[in-house]
Structure 1
Amino acid sequence: MGRRRSFLLSGYAAVVLLVLVGCQATPSRTDGRLRIVATTTIVADLARQLGGEAVEVTALMGPGIDPHLYRASEGDVARMQQADLVLYNGLHLEGKMTEVFERMRALGRQTLAVAECVPDSLRLRASGFGGVYDPHVWMDVRRWQFAARCVADALARMDTARAAFFRDRLAAYLAELDSTDAYVRRRSALLPPERRVLITSHDAFRYFGDAYGWEVHGLLGVSTASEAGAADVQQLAEFIVARRVPAIFVESSVPERYLRALQEAVAARGFSVRLAGPLYSDALGDPGSPAGTYTGMIRTNIDTIVEALREATLP
Protein backbone atom coordinates (compact mmCIF):
# COMPACT_ATOMS: atom_id res chain seq x y z
CA MET A 1 0.00 0.00 0.00
CA GLY A 2 2.77 2.46 0.98
CA ARG A 3 4.77 1.62 -2.19
CA ARG A 4 1.70 2.09 -4.37
CA ARG A 5 0.95 5.46 -2.75
CA SER A 6 4.48 6.71 -3.44
CA PHE A 7 3.91 6.33 -7.19
CA LEU A 8 0.23 7.19 -7.49
CA LEU A 9 -0.12 10.77 -6.33
CA SER A 10 -3.48 12.42 -6.03
CA GLY A 11 -4.31 15.09 -8.57
CA TYR A 12 -3.68 17.75 -5.94
CA ALA A 13 -0.30 16.30 -4.97
CA ALA A 14 0.70 16.07 -8.60
CA VAL A 15 0.09 19.79 -9.07
CA VAL A 16 2.14 20.50 -5.95
CA LEU A 17 4.99 18.34 -7.25
CA LEU A 18 5.07 20.24 -10.55
CA VAL A 19 5.37 23.50 -8.63
CA LEU A 20 8.19 22.07 -6.52
CA VAL A 21 10.13 20.81 -9.51
CA GLY A 22 9.83 24.21 -11.14
CA CYS A 23 11.17 26.03 -8.07
CA GLN A 24 14.36 24.21 -7.14
CA ALA A 25 16.60 27.21 -6.69
CA THR A 26 18.82 26.98 -3.62
CA PRO A 27 17.27 28.84 -0.66
CA SER A 28 18.97 32.17 0.04
CA ARG A 29 19.09 34.62 2.90
CA THR A 30 17.72 38.14 2.75
CA ASP A 31 20.13 40.68 4.27
CA GLY A 32 21.86 37.89 6.17
CA ARG A 33 18.66 36.70 7.83
CA LEU A 34 17.31 33.18 7.80
CA ARG A 35 14.18 32.99 5.69
CA ILE A 36 11.51 31.01 7.56
CA VAL A 37 8.07 29.96 6.36
CA ALA A 38 5.62 28.84 9.05
CA THR A 39 2.17 27.38 8.56
CA THR A 40 0.08 28.83 11.41
CA THR A 41 0.25 32.21 13.13
CA ILE A 42 1.12 30.40 16.38
CA VAL A 43 4.16 28.69 14.87
CA ALA A 44 5.18 31.89 13.09
CA ASP A 45 5.09 33.80 16.38
CA LEU A 46 7.37 31.21 17.95
CA ALA A 47 9.90 31.73 15.16
CA ARG A 48 9.77 35.51 15.56
CA GLN A 49 10.17 35.36 19.33
CA LEU A 50 13.24 33.16 19.08
CA GLY A 51 14.79 34.55 15.92
CA GLY A 52 14.26 38.26 16.42
CA GLU A 53 15.98 40.41 13.82
CA ALA A 54 18.03 37.43 12.63
CA VAL A 55 15.05 35.88 10.82
CA GLU A 56 12.46 36.83 8.24
CA VAL A 57 9.23 34.97 8.96
CA THR A 58 6.28 34.42 6.64
CA ALA A 59 3.07 32.81 7.91
CA LEU A 60 1.02 30.95 5.31
CA MET A 61 -2.19 31.21 7.34
CA GLY A 62 -3.56 34.41 8.80
CA PRO A 63 -5.69 35.20 11.87
CA GLY A 64 -8.91 33.20 12.02
CA ILE A 65 -7.76 30.58 9.50
CA ASP A 66 -8.54 26.96 10.36
CA PRO A 67 -5.39 24.84 9.81
CA HIS A 68 -7.37 21.59 9.84
CA LEU A 69 -9.04 22.56 6.56
CA TYR A 70 -6.27 24.61 4.93
CA ARG A 71 -4.89 23.61 1.53
CA ALA A 72 -1.59 25.01 0.32
CA SER A 73 -1.77 27.16 -2.79
CA GLU A 74 0.87 27.16 -5.51
CA GLY A 75 2.16 30.41 -4.02
CA ASP A 76 2.48 28.77 -0.60
CA VAL A 77 4.47 25.90 -2.07
CA ALA A 78 6.79 28.34 -3.86
CA ARG A 79 7.38 30.23 -0.59
CA MET A 80 8.24 27.02 1.23
CA GLN A 81 10.61 26.02 -1.56
CA GLN A 82 12.49 29.31 -1.22
CA ALA A 83 12.74 29.12 2.58
CA ASP A 84 15.79 28.16 4.58
CA LEU A 85 13.48 26.46 7.08
CA VAL A 86 9.82 25.39 6.97
CA LEU A 87 8.15 25.21 10.37
CA TYR A 88 4.80 23.52 10.88
CA ASN A 89 2.88 22.23 13.86
CA GLY A 90 2.66 18.58 12.87
CA LEU A 91 0.72 15.79 14.62
CA HIS A 92 -1.70 16.04 11.68
CA LEU A 93 -2.90 19.57 12.52
CA GLU A 94 -2.30 20.65 8.92
CA GLY A 95 -3.84 17.43 7.65
CA LYS A 96 -4.42 18.56 4.06
CA MET A 97 -0.77 19.62 3.68
CA THR A 98 0.83 16.29 4.64
CA GLU A 99 1.89 15.39 1.10
CA VAL A 100 3.44 18.82 0.60
CA PHE A 101 5.69 18.35 3.63
CA GLU A 102 6.65 14.87 2.45
CA ARG A 103 7.72 16.21 -0.95
CA MET A 104 9.65 19.04 0.68
CA ARG A 105 11.68 16.56 2.68
CA ALA A 106 12.19 14.37 -0.38
CA LEU A 107 13.70 17.36 -2.19
CA GLY A 108 16.05 18.13 0.69
CA ARG A 109 14.27 21.11 2.18
CA GLN A 110 14.73 21.75 5.91
CA THR A 111 11.45 21.18 7.78
CA LEU A 112 10.53 20.92 11.45
CA ALA A 113 7.25 19.78 13.03
CA VAL A 114 7.43 21.75 16.26
CA ALA A 115 4.65 19.96 18.18
CA GLU A 116 6.45 16.69 17.64
CA CYS A 117 9.26 18.00 19.85
CA VAL A 118 6.96 17.35 22.82
CA PRO A 119 7.85 13.91 24.26
CA ASP A 120 5.42 11.10 23.55
CA SER A 121 4.83 10.67 27.28
CA LEU A 122 3.40 14.21 27.46
CA ARG A 123 1.14 13.93 24.43
CA LEU A 124 -2.57 13.16 24.71
CA ARG A 125 -4.32 10.66 22.49
CA ALA A 126 -7.14 12.13 20.43
CA SER A 127 -10.42 10.28 20.54
CA GLY A 128 -12.12 10.16 17.15
CA PHE A 129 -8.95 11.34 15.39
CA GLY A 130 -7.69 8.02 14.09
CA GLY A 131 -6.03 7.11 17.38
CA VAL A 132 -3.20 9.60 16.83
CA TYR A 133 -2.05 12.34 19.18
CA ASP A 134 -4.00 15.53 19.80
CA PRO A 135 -2.03 18.23 17.93
CA HIS A 136 -3.08 21.21 20.12
CA VAL A 137 -0.04 20.98 22.42
CA TRP A 138 0.38 24.78 22.61
CA MET A 139 -2.65 24.99 24.89
CA ASP A 140 -0.33 23.96 27.74
CA VAL A 141 2.38 26.59 28.08
CA ARG A 142 4.83 24.17 29.67
CA ARG A 143 4.51 21.68 26.85
CA TRP A 144 5.02 24.50 24.35
CA GLN A 145 8.41 25.14 25.90
CA PHE A 146 9.63 21.93 24.27
CA ALA A 147 8.72 23.41 20.90
CA ALA A 148 10.57 26.61 21.76
CA ARG A 149 13.76 24.75 22.64
CA CYS A 150 13.50 22.71 19.45
CA VAL A 151 13.16 25.77 17.21
CA ALA A 152 16.01 27.61 18.96
CA ASP A 153 18.26 24.59 18.45
CA ALA A 154 17.35 24.43 14.77
CA LEU A 155 18.15 28.12 14.29
CA ALA A 156 21.48 27.75 16.09
CA ARG A 157 22.47 24.81 13.88
CA MET A 158 21.59 26.70 10.72
CA ASP A 159 23.31 29.95 11.72
CA THR A 160 26.18 28.99 14.01
CA ALA A 161 27.54 32.55 14.07
CA ARG A 162 24.38 33.63 15.90
CA ALA A 163 24.03 30.55 18.12
CA ALA A 164 24.63 32.54 21.32
CA PHE A 165 22.07 35.10 20.20
CA PHE A 166 19.43 32.42 19.74
CA ARG A 167 20.27 30.86 23.12
CA ASP A 168 19.84 34.22 24.84
CA ARG A 169 16.48 34.78 23.17
CA LEU A 170 15.39 31.30 24.16
CA ALA A 171 16.25 31.93 27.81
CA ALA A 172 14.29 35.19 27.80
CA TYR A 173 11.31 33.58 26.09
CA LEU A 174 11.25 30.60 28.45
CA ALA A 175 11.05 33.08 31.33
CA GLU A 176 8.12 34.79 29.62
CA LEU A 177 6.43 31.43 29.16
CA ASP A 178 6.95 30.58 32.84
CA SER A 179 5.29 33.87 33.76
CA THR A 180 2.38 33.16 31.41
CA ASP A 181 1.92 29.66 32.82
CA ALA A 182 1.80 31.06 36.36
CA TYR A 183 -0.76 33.66 35.23
CA VAL A 184 -3.08 30.97 33.86
CA ARG A 185 -2.84 29.03 37.13
CA ARG A 186 -3.65 32.12 39.22
CA ARG A 187 -6.62 33.03 37.08
CA SER A 188 -7.94 29.45 37.07
CA ALA A 189 -7.80 29.39 40.86
CA LEU A 190 -10.40 32.18 41.00
CA LEU A 191 -13.04 29.55 40.22
CA PRO A 192 -13.78 26.54 42.44
CA PRO A 193 -12.87 23.22 40.79
CA GLU A 194 -16.51 22.24 40.19
CA ARG A 195 -17.07 25.42 38.14
CA ARG A 196 -14.05 24.90 35.90
CA VAL A 197 -16.03 23.50 32.99
CA LEU A 198 -15.03 24.69 29.53
CA ILE A 199 -17.25 23.98 26.51
CA THR A 200 -15.97 25.12 23.12
CA SER A 201 -16.65 24.77 19.41
CA HIS A 202 -14.14 21.99 18.85
CA ASP A 203 -11.95 19.79 21.01
CA ALA A 204 -8.85 22.00 21.02
CA PHE A 205 -8.45 22.59 24.77
CA ARG A 206 -7.69 19.15 26.22
CA TYR A 207 -4.06 20.08 26.94
CA PHE A 208 -5.33 23.21 28.65
CA GLY A 209 -7.67 21.13 30.79
CA ASP A 210 -4.99 18.57 31.59
CA ALA A 211 -2.47 21.21 32.64
CA TYR A 212 -4.67 23.65 34.54
CA GLY A 213 -7.40 21.52 36.11
CA TRP A 214 -10.37 22.11 33.80
CA GLU A 215 -13.04 19.74 32.54
CA VAL A 216 -13.16 20.34 28.80
CA HIS A 217 -15.75 19.43 26.16
CA GLY A 218 -15.76 20.32 22.47
CA LEU A 219 -18.84 20.04 20.28
CA LEU A 220 -16.79 19.08 17.24
CA GLY A 221 -13.89 16.65 17.49
CA VAL A 222 -10.17 17.36 17.58
CA SER A 223 -10.34 18.22 13.88
CA THR A 224 -12.93 20.67 12.57
CA ALA A 225 -13.15 18.46 9.49
CA SER A 226 -15.48 16.30 11.59
CA GLU A 227 -19.16 17.11 11.91
CA ALA A 228 -21.31 17.14 15.04
CA GLY A 229 -24.38 14.95 14.70
CA ALA A 230 -27.75 15.59 16.30
CA ALA A 231 -26.93 13.06 19.02
CA ASP A 232 -23.71 14.95 19.88
CA VAL A 233 -25.62 18.22 20.23
CA GLN A 234 -28.33 16.66 22.40
CA GLN A 235 -25.86 14.86 24.64
CA LEU A 236 -23.82 18.00 25.27
CA ALA A 237 -27.01 20.01 25.86
CA GLU A 238 -28.05 17.53 28.54
CA PHE A 239 -24.65 17.90 30.18
CA ILE A 240 -24.90 21.71 30.20
CA VAL A 241 -28.31 21.62 31.84
CA ALA A 242 -27.29 18.99 34.40
CA ARG A 243 -24.14 20.90 35.39
CA ARG A 244 -25.76 24.35 35.08
CA VAL A 245 -22.93 25.59 32.88
CA PRO A 246 -23.58 29.33 32.36
CA ALA A 247 -21.51 29.97 29.21
CA ILE A 248 -20.11 28.20 26.18
CA PHE A 249 -17.31 29.61 24.05
CA VAL A 250 -17.08 30.28 20.33
CA GLU A 251 -13.68 30.18 18.65
CA SER A 252 -12.23 32.68 16.23
CA SER A 253 -11.42 30.01 13.62
CA VAL A 254 -14.67 27.98 13.79
CA PRO A 255 -18.09 29.15 12.51
CA GLU A 256 -20.43 30.26 15.29
CA ARG A 257 -23.39 28.31 13.92
CA TYR A 258 -22.30 25.10 15.65
CA LEU A 259 -22.63 26.56 19.13
CA ARG A 260 -25.82 28.41 18.24
CA ALA A 261 -27.41 25.03 17.53
CA LEU A 262 -26.17 23.84 20.92
CA GLN A 263 -27.53 26.96 22.61
CA GLU A 264 -30.95 26.32 21.05
CA ALA A 265 -30.91 22.70 22.23
CA VAL A 266 -30.17 23.90 25.77
CA ALA A 267 -32.98 26.47 25.60
CA ALA A 268 -35.42 23.74 24.54
CA ARG A 269 -34.70 22.11 27.90
CA GLY A 270 -35.66 25.24 29.83
CA PHE A 271 -32.14 26.42 30.61
CA SER A 272 -30.29 29.47 29.30
CA VAL A 273 -26.61 29.36 28.34
CA ARG A 274 -24.90 32.32 26.77
CA LEU A 275 -22.33 32.43 24.00
CA ALA A 276 -19.05 33.92 25.18
CA GLY A 277 -15.70 34.56 23.55
CA PRO A 278 -14.24 34.36 21.09
CA LEU A 279 -11.43 32.14 22.25
CA TYR A 280 -8.33 31.79 20.10
CA SER A 281 -7.59 28.13 19.51
CA ASP A 282 -5.88 27.33 16.20
CA ALA A 283 -4.90 30.88 15.23
CA LEU A 284 -3.78 34.08 16.94
CA GLY A 285 -5.71 37.32 16.88
CA ASP A 286 -4.95 40.23 14.57
CA PRO A 287 -1.39 41.63 14.71
CA GLY A 288 -1.12 44.32 17.37
CA SER A 289 -4.18 43.08 19.26
CA PRO A 290 -3.94 41.60 22.79
CA ALA A 291 -4.18 38.10 21.27
CA GLY A 292 -1.72 38.87 18.48
CA THR A 293 1.13 36.91 20.09
CA TYR A 294 1.16 33.45 21.63
CA THR A 295 1.53 34.62 25.24
CA GLY A 296 -1.04 37.35 24.61
CA MET A 297 -3.43 34.77 23.18
CA ILE A 298 -3.05 32.49 26.20
CA ARG A 299 -3.66 35.38 28.62
CA THR A 300 -6.61 36.66 26.60
CA ASN A 301 -8.18 33.21 26.56
CA ILE A 302 -7.95 32.61 30.30
CA ASP A 303 -9.26 36.10 31.06
CA THR A 304 -12.23 35.56 28.71
CA ILE A 305 -13.00 32.14 30.18
CA VAL A 306 -12.73 33.10 33.84
CA GLU A 307 -14.63 36.36 33.51
CA ALA A 308 -17.54 34.71 31.66
CA LEU A 309 -17.85 31.82 34.11
CA ARG A 310 -17.11 33.84 37.22
CA GLU A 311 -20.06 36.17 36.62
CA ALA A 312 -22.41 33.30 37.37
CA THR A 313 -20.65 32.38 40.62
CA LEU A 314 -20.44 35.87 42.15
CA PRO A 315 -23.18 36.75 44.69
Structure 2
Amino acid sequence: LSEVGGEAVTVKSLIPLMSNPHLWQPTAAELSTVHTADVFVLSGLGLEAKFNENLDTLRSTGLAVGVLSDVLTEAEIIRPDGPAAPPDPHFWMNASLWAKAAGRAAEVLAAASPEAAAYFQDRAHDYSTQLEDQHRLMQGRFKELTPHARFLISSHDSLRYLAEAHDLSIRSMWNARGEDYPEEETKKTAAWAKEHQVKLLFRENLVGGENLLARMHDLSLPSSKVIISLSLTQPGTLMAGLSEGLDVGKYKSALKYTCEMIYSTLLTAK
Protein backbone atom coordinates (compact mmCIF):
# COMPACT_ATOMS: atom_id res chain seq x y z
CA LEU A 1 0.00 0.00 0.00
CA SER A 2 2.85 2.39 0.76
CA GLU A 3 4.37 1.72 -2.67
CA VAL A 4 1.08 2.53 -4.41
CA GLY A 5 -0.18 5.22 -2.05
CA GLY A 6 3.07 7.14 -1.73
CA GLU A 7 2.79 10.47 0.04
CA ALA A 8 -0.98 10.50 -0.33
CA VAL A 9 -1.56 7.83 2.32
CA THR A 10 -0.54 6.92 5.83
CA VAL A 11 -0.35 3.14 6.21
CA LYS A 12 -0.59 1.31 9.52
CA SER A 13 -0.18 -2.46 9.74
CA LEU A 14 -2.29 -4.08 12.44
CA ILE A 15 -0.43 -7.39 12.56
CA PRO A 16 2.73 -6.87 14.64
CA LEU A 17 6.14 -7.54 13.12
CA MET A 18 7.32 -11.15 13.66
CA SER A 19 3.76 -12.32 14.35
CA ASN A 20 2.13 -15.24 12.57
CA PRO A 21 -0.82 -13.75 10.63
CA HIS A 22 -2.56 -17.14 10.54
CA LEU A 23 -2.89 -17.09 14.32
CA TRP A 24 -3.24 -13.36 14.91
CA GLN A 25 -6.37 -12.30 16.80
CA PRO A 26 -7.18 -8.56 16.73
CA THR A 27 -7.52 -6.90 20.12
CA ALA A 28 -10.24 -4.42 21.01
CA ALA A 29 -7.68 -1.62 20.68
CA GLU A 30 -6.70 -2.78 17.19
CA LEU A 31 -10.33 -2.96 16.14
CA SER A 32 -10.86 0.58 17.36
CA THR A 33 -7.89 1.68 15.23
CA VAL A 34 -9.61 0.25 12.16
CA HIS A 35 -12.65 2.43 12.80
CA THR A 36 -10.49 5.57 12.51
CA ALA A 37 -9.27 4.60 9.03
CA ASP A 38 -10.60 5.72 5.66
CA VAL A 39 -10.05 2.29 4.15
CA PHE A 40 -9.17 -1.15 5.51
CA VAL A 41 -7.19 -3.49 3.24
CA LEU A 42 -6.58 -7.22 3.62
CA SER A 43 -4.40 -9.56 1.61
CA GLY A 44 -7.20 -12.13 1.55
CA LEU A 45 -7.61 -15.84 0.72
CA GLY A 46 -8.08 -16.50 4.42
CA LEU A 47 -4.70 -15.15 5.54
CA GLU A 48 -6.31 -12.89 8.14
CA ALA A 49 -8.71 -15.66 9.17
CA LYS A 50 -9.22 -14.30 12.67
CA PHE A 51 -10.43 -11.00 11.22
CA ASN A 52 -12.92 -12.35 8.70
CA GLU A 53 -15.70 -12.59 11.27
CA ASN A 54 -15.46 -8.82 11.79
CA LEU A 55 -15.67 -7.78 8.13
CA ASP A 56 -19.45 -7.59 7.84
CA THR A 57 -19.58 -5.49 11.00
CA LEU A 58 -16.94 -3.14 9.63
CA ARG A 59 -18.72 -2.78 6.29
CA SER A 60 -21.99 -2.02 8.07
CA THR A 61 -20.36 1.08 9.58
CA GLY A 62 -19.61 2.43 6.10
CA LEU A 63 -15.88 1.68 6.23
CA ALA A 64 -14.41 0.88 2.81
CA VAL A 65 -12.94 -2.63 2.90
CA GLY A 66 -10.67 -3.88 0.11
CA VAL A 67 -9.30 -7.39 -0.41
CA LEU A 68 -6.23 -7.59 -2.64
CA SER A 69 -6.73 -11.24 -3.60
CA ASP A 70 -10.04 -10.34 -5.27
CA VAL A 71 -8.00 -9.53 -8.38
CA LEU A 72 -6.92 -13.16 -8.82
CA THR A 73 -8.65 -15.61 -11.12
CA GLU A 74 -9.61 -19.03 -9.82
CA ALA A 75 -6.93 -20.56 -12.06
CA GLU A 76 -4.27 -18.47 -10.30
CA ILE A 77 -5.30 -19.58 -6.81
CA ILE A 78 -3.61 -22.67 -5.38
CA ARG A 79 -5.82 -25.05 -3.41
CA PRO A 80 -3.44 -27.73 -2.08
CA ASP A 81 -6.13 -30.18 -1.01
CA GLY A 82 -8.37 -30.01 -4.06
CA PRO A 83 -10.75 -27.67 -5.94
CA ALA A 84 -13.21 -27.37 -3.05
CA ALA A 85 -10.53 -26.96 -0.36
CA PRO A 86 -9.44 -23.68 1.27
CA PRO A 87 -6.95 -21.64 -0.78
CA ASP A 88 -3.28 -21.15 -0.06
CA PRO A 89 -3.11 -17.45 0.91
CA HIS A 90 0.61 -16.86 0.22
CA PHE A 91 0.16 -15.52 -3.31
CA TRP A 92 2.66 -12.69 -2.74
CA MET A 93 5.40 -15.30 -3.15
CA ASN A 94 4.73 -14.99 -6.89
CA ALA A 95 5.83 -11.46 -7.85
CA SER A 96 3.66 -11.49 -10.97
CA LEU A 97 0.53 -12.08 -8.88
CA TRP A 98 1.54 -9.40 -6.40
CA ALA A 99 1.95 -7.04 -9.36
CA LYS A 100 -1.75 -7.60 -10.05
CA ALA A 101 -2.48 -6.89 -6.40
CA ALA A 102 -0.81 -3.49 -6.80
CA GLY A 103 -3.45 -2.60 -9.36
CA ARG A 104 -6.15 -3.73 -6.96
CA ALA A 105 -4.59 -1.57 -4.23
CA ALA A 106 -4.83 1.46 -6.52
CA GLU A 107 -8.54 0.77 -7.06
CA VAL A 108 -9.20 0.44 -3.33
CA LEU A 109 -7.32 3.64 -2.47
CA ALA A 110 -8.97 5.54 -5.32
CA ALA A 111 -12.40 4.58 -3.99
CA ALA A 112 -11.50 6.28 -0.72
CA SER A 113 -9.70 9.25 -2.33
CA PRO A 114 -11.07 9.77 -5.87
CA GLU A 115 -9.11 12.99 -6.32
CA ALA A 116 -5.84 11.01 -6.15
CA ALA A 117 -6.95 8.16 -8.43
CA ALA A 118 -4.55 9.03 -11.28
CA TYR A 119 -1.65 9.31 -8.82
CA PHE A 120 -2.40 5.85 -7.39
CA GLN A 121 -2.80 4.32 -10.84
CA ASP A 122 0.53 5.73 -12.06
CA ARG A 123 2.38 4.46 -9.00
CA ALA A 124 0.72 1.06 -9.25
CA HIS A 125 1.72 0.80 -12.91
CA ASP A 126 5.34 1.69 -12.14
CA TYR A 127 5.52 -0.73 -9.21
CA SER A 128 3.84 -3.54 -11.15
CA THR A 129 6.34 -3.06 -13.97
CA GLN A 130 9.23 -3.36 -11.51
CA LEU A 131 7.75 -6.55 -10.05
CA GLU A 132 7.17 -8.11 -13.47
CA ASP A 133 10.75 -7.28 -14.51
CA GLN A 134 12.07 -8.89 -11.33
CA HIS A 135 9.82 -11.91 -11.88
CA ARG A 136 11.18 -12.46 -15.39
CA LEU A 137 14.76 -12.07 -14.14
CA MET A 138 14.27 -14.77 -11.52
CA GLN A 139 12.47 -17.04 -13.98
CA GLY A 140 15.55 -16.85 -16.19
CA ARG A 141 17.81 -17.81 -13.32
CA PHE A 142 15.70 -20.72 -12.14
CA LYS A 143 15.64 -22.10 -15.69
CA GLU A 144 19.38 -22.70 -15.29
CA LEU A 145 18.71 -25.42 -12.71
CA THR A 146 18.81 -29.03 -13.82
CA PRO A 147 15.70 -31.21 -13.28
CA HIS A 148 17.44 -32.92 -10.35
CA ALA A 149 18.19 -29.62 -8.56
CA ARG A 150 14.60 -28.42 -8.19
CA PHE A 151 13.57 -30.06 -4.92
CA LEU A 152 13.40 -28.44 -1.49
CA ILE A 153 11.60 -28.69 1.82
CA SER A 154 10.28 -25.67 3.71
CA SER A 155 9.52 -25.50 7.40
CA HIS A 156 6.29 -23.57 6.78
CA ASP A 157 3.92 -24.35 3.91
CA SER A 158 4.28 -20.92 2.33
CA LEU A 159 6.28 -21.40 -0.87
CA ARG A 160 3.81 -23.10 -3.21
CA TYR A 161 3.26 -19.99 -5.34
CA LEU A 162 7.01 -19.42 -5.64
CA ALA A 163 7.56 -23.07 -6.52
CA GLU A 164 4.82 -23.03 -9.16
CA ALA A 165 6.15 -19.81 -10.71
CA HIS A 166 9.67 -21.21 -11.06
CA ASP A 167 8.98 -24.90 -11.72
CA LEU A 168 10.27 -26.18 -8.37
CA SER A 169 9.01 -29.14 -6.34
CA ILE A 170 8.39 -28.51 -2.66
CA ARG A 171 6.98 -30.12 0.45
CA SER A 172 6.80 -28.71 3.96
CA MET A 173 7.34 -29.81 7.56
CA TRP A 174 4.35 -27.98 9.01
CA ASN A 175 1.16 -26.67 7.45
CA ALA A 176 0.41 -22.99 6.84
CA ARG A 177 -0.71 -22.51 10.46
CA GLY A 178 2.45 -24.13 11.82
CA GLU A 179 0.59 -27.29 12.83
CA ASP A 180 1.83 -30.86 12.44
CA TYR A 181 0.73 -32.90 9.47
CA PRO A 182 -0.72 -36.36 10.12
CA GLU A 183 1.97 -38.99 10.68
CA GLU A 184 1.24 -40.63 7.33
CA GLU A 185 1.85 -37.34 5.51
CA THR A 186 5.16 -36.88 7.32
CA LYS A 187 6.22 -40.36 6.20
CA LYS A 188 5.36 -39.48 2.59
CA THR A 189 7.49 -36.33 2.84
CA ALA A 190 10.40 -38.33 4.25
CA ALA A 191 10.15 -40.83 1.38
CA TRP A 192 9.92 -37.99 -1.14
CA ALA A 193 13.02 -36.29 0.32
CA LYS A 194 14.98 -39.54 0.13
CA GLU A 195 13.83 -40.34 -3.41
CA HIS A 196 14.85 -36.94 -4.75
CA GLN A 197 17.93 -36.53 -2.54
CA VAL A 198 16.70 -33.18 -1.28
CA LYS A 199 19.59 -30.81 -0.64
CA LEU A 200 17.81 -27.75 0.73
CA LEU A 201 15.68 -26.93 3.73
CA PHE A 202 14.14 -23.45 3.73
CA ARG A 203 13.44 -22.33 7.27
CA GLU A 204 11.12 -19.45 8.09
CA ASN A 205 11.77 -18.07 11.57
CA LEU A 206 8.10 -17.89 12.53
CA VAL A 207 7.62 -21.64 12.26
CA GLY A 208 9.63 -24.52 13.64
CA GLY A 209 11.84 -23.14 16.36
CA GLU A 210 13.19 -25.76 18.75
CA ASN A 211 11.26 -28.50 16.95
CA LEU A 212 13.23 -28.03 13.74
CA LEU A 213 16.01 -30.55 14.41
CA ALA A 214 13.52 -33.13 15.65
CA ARG A 215 11.43 -32.77 12.52
CA MET A 216 14.55 -32.96 10.34
CA HIS A 217 15.30 -36.27 12.08
CA ASP A 218 11.73 -37.44 11.39
CA LEU A 219 12.31 -36.70 7.71
CA SER A 220 15.75 -38.35 7.72
CA LEU A 221 17.37 -35.01 6.87
CA PRO A 222 20.84 -34.75 8.45
CA SER A 223 21.58 -31.50 10.28
CA SER A 224 24.29 -30.77 7.72
CA LYS A 225 21.62 -29.90 5.15
CA VAL A 226 21.60 -26.28 4.07
CA ILE A 227 19.22 -24.04 6.02
CA ILE A 228 18.14 -20.64 4.76
CA SER A 229 16.67 -18.49 7.50
CA LEU A 230 14.19 -15.83 6.42
CA SER A 231 13.63 -13.01 8.91
CA LEU A 232 10.77 -10.57 8.70
CA THR A 233 12.36 -7.30 9.68
CA GLN A 234 12.16 -3.52 9.68
CA PRO A 235 12.65 -1.50 6.48
CA GLY A 236 16.25 -0.40 6.14
CA THR A 237 17.75 -3.80 7.00
CA LEU A 238 20.21 -4.52 4.19
CA MET A 239 21.33 -7.99 3.14
CA ALA A 240 23.21 -9.32 0.14
CA GLY A 241 22.14 -12.30 -1.92
CA LEU A 242 23.41 -12.35 -5.48
CA SER A 243 22.57 -8.64 -5.40
CA GLU A 244 24.13 -6.18 -2.98
CA GLY A 245 22.29 -4.06 -0.45
CA LEU A 246 18.81 -5.59 -0.62
CA ASP A 247 16.43 -3.95 1.86
CA VAL A 248 14.70 -7.07 3.18
CA GLY A 249 12.26 -4.95 5.15
CA LYS A 250 10.53 -4.14 1.85
CA TYR A 251 8.55 -6.66 -0.17
CA LYS A 252 10.28 -6.46 -3.56
CA SER A 253 13.80 -6.76 -2.17
CA ALA A 254 12.82 -9.39 0.41
CA LEU A 255 11.33 -11.63 -2.29
CA LYS A 256 14.34 -11.08 -4.53
CA TYR A 257 16.65 -12.04 -1.68
CA THR A 258 14.60 -15.17 -0.97
CA CYS A 259 14.60 -16.22 -4.64
CA GLU A 260 18.31 -15.54 -5.04
CA MET A 261 19.24 -17.54 -1.96
CA ILE A 262 17.08 -20.51 -2.96
CA TYR A 263 18.37 -20.41 -6.54
CA SER A 264 22.05 -20.12 -5.61
CA THR A 265 21.82 -22.86 -2.97
CA LEU A 266 20.03 -25.28 -5.29
CA LEU A 267 22.57 -24.47 -8.00
CA THR A 268 25.56 -25.33 -5.82
CA ALA A 269 24.16 -28.00 -3.46
CA LYS A 270 25.82 -31.39 -3.83
Q: Tell me if 1:113 matches 2:60.
A: no
Q: Tell me if 1:242 matches 2:177.
A: no
Counting aligned pairs with the same residue, the percent is 26
Aligned to 1:305: 262
Aligned to 2:53: 99
1:129–1:223 CA contact under 8 A, matched in 2: no
**Match of 1:56, SS?**
coil
Equivalents in 2 of 1:198, 1:242: separation in Å? 12
**Match of 2:63, SS?**
coil
1:198–1:216 CA contact under 8 A, matched in 2: yes
Deviation at 1:134, TM superposition (A): 1.5
Equivalents in 2 of 1:272, 1:311: separation in Å? 18
Q: Tell me if 1:253 matches 2:206.
A: yes
Aligned to 1:232: 185
1:88–1:113 CA contact under 8 A, matched in 2: yes
Per-residue CA deviation, residues 148-201 of structure 1 (Å, 9 max, x unaligned), is: 111101222322222221122112101111122022213312321321112111
Aligned to 2:109: 155
Q: Tell me if 1:204 matches 2:161.
A: no
Aligned to 1:167: 121
If you compute each CA radius of gyration, which structure gives the higher value, 1 or 2? 1
Deviation at 1:52, TM superposition (A): 0.4
1:50–1:170 CA contact under 8 A, matched in 2: yes
Aligned to 2:241: none
Deviation at 1:90, TM superposition (A): 1.4
1:266–1:273 CA contact under 8 A, matched in 2: no
TM-score (norm 2): 0.88
RMSD: 2.2
Q: Tell me if 1:278 matches 2:236.
A: no
Q: Which amino acid aligns with 1:65?
A: S
1:183–1:299 CA contact under 8 A, matched in 2: no
128-137 vs 233-242, greater mean Cα deviation: 128-137
**Match of 2:212, SS?**
helix
Deviation at 1:296, TM superposition (A): 0.9
Structure 2: runs of 5 or more not aligned: 238-246
Structure 1: runs of 5 or more not aligned: 1-46
Aligned to 2:242: none
Aligned to 1:7: none
2:103–2:125 CA contact under 8 A, matched in 1: no
Equivalents in 1 of 2:27, 2:226: separation in Å? 34
Aligned to 2:42: 88
Deviation at 1:206, TM superposition (A): 1.3
Deviation at 1:119, TM superposition (A): 1.6
1:251–1:279 CA contact under 8 A, matched in 2: yes
2:151–2:200 CA contact under 8 A, matched in 1: no
Q: Which amino acid aligns with 2:201?
A: I
Equivalents in 2 of 1:285, 1:186: separation in Å? 28
1:220–1:227 CA contact under 8 A, matched in 2: yes
Equivalents in 1 of 2:52, 2:264: separation in Å? 38
